[in-house]
């Protein structure tokens, strides 16, 4: 902490490290609850970020931080559901939010540069002080925390606060400092993505759906419409599969993966790439603890799950608000109760991670993926699954029971082939007739 001596000093109730969705939500919530907050963000916004498909039940957070009108006025692309498609396109399972009683029944697909800027501007408009500087050091004391930030030009500042919220995304500035990050060894994947024009879409109101195309070897591809002509397309592969192909450049690996699915060849026939390829790898982890003495982890700083169900931004927004509430109750209240705030926040995030992870690992299990691809017209199972894929992470007992049944059927599928096996659908092997109940 040698830099502290000559650095400009800022004092506040809470320092938030990172100005993405988690950090902006935390800062806005802290301001709405009457506290001073400094956000340290290392990049000048707007900046590119991957993670572009949102979930409808996450929109409650917009109310919690008071920005629903701003978000609605921004004109982001509308999403009414998600679709699972088999590699040849014969099978389509539709998760339609309205048809399954999800309210609100639509959500948005976003260019993250614009969305993140909107949220951070909103926090600033409520009085959060946003400083463009990279947090590079921190020190905890019994009565607070000091974070050293380094600005682009090299100048330093020290932010002194009573509590720190780490919202620095995958960098996990505080998470790594306190040593709580645990890699998820079962979900070791890699992704390559870019934006394209002229990707073929479904007609009518299905035009804005997220489409998830299953690939052989349990890979998959997302197609997320971001505007009337730009679509985000990303490939996710098992790390072993990715490394095996790594001899080529990113574009070659991407094209090669797409060629494995005739449906993708067709949808991308006229596509024109409009951004460079980006890549991420090894991206699932959790935290041993999400809070401790004067620190809280929100969003990807705490944990990250494979993006197959587009849960990341919603989890980031929710945990940003929850971290702010825990900070207020734990250290900033007239009668602070940190032990209780830490325990409650930690429990909430641990449970949510475990709940969503089951859906993610299910998608990477051959038999359960078959089940995701099977029509489920009975017992309300499809409705319960759609609610989760719409961002319903806290369900009533009946839906929980239906999900137990769903995963039980997945285990039985491994032994008894209850539904057609589709994971291995290939140009040569795909069954021709769509199953009953499919759209
Ligand atoms: C391949 C891929 C696809 C995805 N697809 C989706 C999707 O479709 N839908 C979805 O909801 N999610 C998706 N996600 C997940 C989503 O990107 C994240 O969950 C989400 O961005 C988390 O928000 P956050 O605020 O926690 O972190 P971020 O959005 O990463 O924000 C963290 C911020 O902290 C800043 N920062 C980092 N270090 C420091 C530091 N030391 N000091 C100051 N600032 C710092 C960064 O510049 C950044 O702006 C995807 C992720 C991947 C990898």
pLDDT digits (tens, 9 = 90+) for 141-158: 999 999 999 998 889 999
Find the DSSP H helices in 60-103. 60-64, 68-73
Answer yes or no: is pLDDT of 439 > 60. Answer: no
What domains lie within the chain, and their CATH numbers?
Answer: 2-70+111-183+284-355 (3.50.50.60), 78-108+185-281 (3.30.9.100), 361-416 (no CATH)
Average pLDDT over residues 340-356: 97
Answer yes or no: is pLDDT of 110 > 80. Answer: yes
State pTM to two decimals. Answer: 0.94
The predicted pLDDT at position 164 comes to 98
Within 8 A by CB and 6+ apart from 186, the residues are 284, 361, 364
Q: Which of 287, 313, 393 to mutate to test the pocket of ligand 1 (most atoms within 8 A of CB)?
A: 313
Q: How confident is the model at residue 432 (pLDDT cuts 50, 70, 90)?
A: very low
Q: Which of 316, 318, 322, 357 to mutate to test the pocket of ligand 1 (most atoms within 8 A of CB)?
A: 316
Residue 232's φ and ψ, nearest 5 degrees, are: -85, 130
- The helix/strand/coil state of 377 is coil
Read off the pLDDT of residues 59-103 as tens digits, 9 standing for 90 and up: 999 999 999 999 999 999 999 999 999 999 988 999 999 999 999
Q: Is 51 in the pocket of ligand 1 (CB under 6 A)?
A: yes
Q: Is 320 in the pocket of ligand 1 (CB under 6 A)?
A: no
Average pLDDT over residues 39-48: 97
Q: Is 172 in the pocket of ligand 1 (CB under 6 A)?
A: no
159 C-alpha to ligand 1 centroid (Å): 23
Answer yes or no: is pLDDT of 220 > 90. Answer: yes
20 C-alpha to ligand 1 centroid (Å): 6
Q: Where is pLDDT greater, at 241 or 32?
A: 32
The predicted pLDDT at position 2 comes to 52
Q: How confident is the model at residue 240 (pLDDT cuts 50, 70, 90)?
A: confident
User: Residue 35 corresponds to which tokens in the numbers above?
Assistant: 């506290």
Comparing CA positions, the residue from 182, 125, 171, 178 lying closest to residue 17 is 171
E-strand spans in 253-401?
272-273, 278-281, 285-287, 291-292, 295-297
Answer yes or no: is pLDDT of 24 > 80. Answer: yes
Buried b (16+ CB within 10 A) or exposed e, 405-414: ebbebbeebe
The predicted pLDDT at position 418 comes to 84
Report the alpha-carbon distance of residue 319 to residue 309 in Å, rounded: 17
Within 8 A by CB and 6+ apart from 420, the residues are 370, 374, 431, 435
- The helix/strand/coil state of 219 is coil
Q: How confident is the model at residue 44 (pLDDT cuts 50, 70, 90)?
A: very high
262 C-alpha to ligand 1 centroid (Å): 32
- 353 in Cβ contact with 56 (< 8 Å): no
Specify the range with the lowest mean pLDDT, choosing from 6-10, 34-38, 208-212, 302-306: 6-10
The predicted pLDDT at position 427 comes to 55
Within 8 A by CB and 6+ apart from 152, the residues are 44, 132, 133
Across the chain, mean pLDDT equals 91
- 105 in Cβ contact with 95 (< 8 Å): no
The predicted pLDDT at position 423 comes to 60
Residue 26's φ and ψ, nearest 5 degrees, are: -65, -45
414 C-alpha to ligand 1 centroid (Å): 35
Q: Is 124 in the pocket of ligand 1 (CB under 6 A)?
A: no
Report the alpha-carbon distance of residue 30 to residue 65 in Å, rounded: 9
Residue 224's φ and ψ, nearest 5 degrees, are: -120, 110
Within 8 A by CB and 6+ apart from 93, the residues are 83, 84, 372, 373, 374, 375, 438, 439
Answer yes or no: is pLDDT of 116 > 90. Answer: yes
Peptide bond into 104 cis (omega under 30): yes
- The helix/strand/coil state of 421 is coil
Which residue owns the Cα nearest ligand 1 atom 20? Answer: 313
Q: Which of 20, 191, 211, 352 to mutate to test the pocket of ligand 1 (most atoms within 8 A of CB)?
A: 20
Q: Using the 8-state DSSP alphabet, how is residue 98 labeled?
A: T
- 235 in Cβ contact with 192 (< 8 Å): yes
The predicted pLDDT at position 150 comes to 96
171 C-alpha to ligand 1 centroid (Å): 9
Answer yes or no: is pLDDT of 424 > 60. Answer: no
Average pLDDT over residues 400-406: 91
Answer yes or no: is pLDDT of 422 > 90. Answer: no
Q: Tokens 């944990």 — which residue? A: 303
Read off the pLDDT of residues 293-333 as tens digits, 9 standing for 90 and up: 999 999 999 999 999 999 999 999 999 999 999 999 999 99
Answer yes or no: is pLDDT of 246 > 90. Answer: no
90 C-alpha to ligand 1 centroid (Å): 34
Q: To the nearest 5 percent, what fractions of the chain are helix, strand and coil? A: 40, 25, 35
Read off the pLDDT of residues 388-397 as tens digits, 9 standing for 90 and up: 999 999 889 9
Q: Is 18 in the pocket of ligand 1 (CB under 6 A)?
A: yes
> For the chain, how many helices (H) and strands (E)?
13, 21
Q: Is 234 in the pocket of ligand 1 (CB under 6 A)?
A: yes
Answer yes or no: is pLDDT of 437 > 60. Answer: no
What percent of the chain lies above the pLDDT cut of 70?
A: 93
Which residue owns the Cα nearest ligand 1 atom 19? Answer: 312
Q: Is 52 in the pocket of ligand 1 (CB under 6 A)?
A: yes
Q: Is 164 in the pocket of ligand 1 (CB under 6 A)?
A: no
Q: Where is pLDDT greater, at 125 or 245?
A: 125
User: Residue 95 corresponds to which tokens in the numbers above?
Assistant: 């998760």
Average pLDDT over residues 394-421: 88
Average pLDDT over residues 122-150: 97
């Amino acid at each position: 902490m040698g830099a502290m001596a000559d650095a400009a000093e800022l004092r506040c109730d809470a320092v938030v490290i990172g100005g993405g969705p988690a950090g902006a939500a935390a800062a806005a919530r802290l301001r709405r609850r009457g506290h001073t907050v400094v956000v340290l963000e290392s990049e000048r916004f707007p900046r590119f970020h991957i993670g572009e498909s949102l979930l409808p039940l996450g929109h409650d957070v917009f109310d919690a931080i008071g920005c629903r009108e701003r978000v609605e006025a921004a004109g982001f692309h509308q999403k009414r559901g998600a679709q699972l498609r088999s590699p040849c396109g014969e099978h389509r399972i539709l998760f339609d939010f309205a048809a399954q009683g999800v309210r609100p029944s639509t959500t948005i697909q976003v260019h993250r540069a614009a969305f993140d800027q909107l949220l951070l501007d909103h926090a600033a408009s409520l009085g959060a002080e946003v400083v463009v500087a990279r947090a590079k050091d921190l020190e905890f004391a019994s009565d607070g925390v000091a974070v050293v930030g380094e600005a682009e030009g090299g100048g330093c500042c020290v932010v002194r606060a009573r509590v720190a919220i780490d919202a620095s995304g995958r960098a996990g500035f505080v998470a790594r400092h306190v040593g709580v990050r645990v890699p998820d060894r079962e979900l070791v994947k890699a992704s390559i993505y870019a934006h394209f024009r002229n990707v073929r879409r479904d007609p009518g109101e299905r035009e804005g759906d997220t489409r998830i195309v299953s690939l052989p070897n349990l890979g998959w591809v997302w197609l997320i419409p971001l505007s009337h002509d730009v679509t985000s397309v990303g490939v996710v592969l098992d790390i072993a599969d990715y490394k095996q192909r790594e001899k080529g450049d990113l574009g070659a690996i991407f094209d090669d993966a797409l060629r494995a699915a005739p449906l993708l060849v067709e949808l991308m026939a006229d596509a024109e790439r409009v951004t460079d390829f980006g890549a991420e790898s090894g991206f699932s982890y959790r935290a041993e603890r999400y809070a401790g003495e004067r620190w809280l982890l929100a969003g990807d700083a705490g944990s990250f799950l494979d993006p197959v169900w587009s849960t990341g931004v919603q989890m980031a927004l929710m945990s940003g608000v929850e971290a702010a509430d825990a900070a207020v109750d734990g250290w900033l209240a007239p009668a602070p109760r940190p032990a209780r705030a830490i325990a409650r926040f930690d429990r909430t995030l641990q449970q949510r991670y475990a709940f969503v992870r089951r859906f993610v690992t299910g998608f990477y299990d051959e038999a359960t993926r078959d089940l995701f691809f099977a029509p489920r017209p009975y017992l309300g199972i499809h409705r319960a699954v759609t609610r989760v894929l719409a961002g319903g992470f806290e369900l009533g007992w009946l839906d929980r029971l239906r999900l137990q049944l769903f995963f039980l059927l997945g285990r039985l599928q491994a032994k008894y082939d209850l539904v057609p096996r589709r994971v291995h659908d290939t140009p040569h092997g795909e069954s021709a007739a769509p199953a009953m109940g499919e759209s």
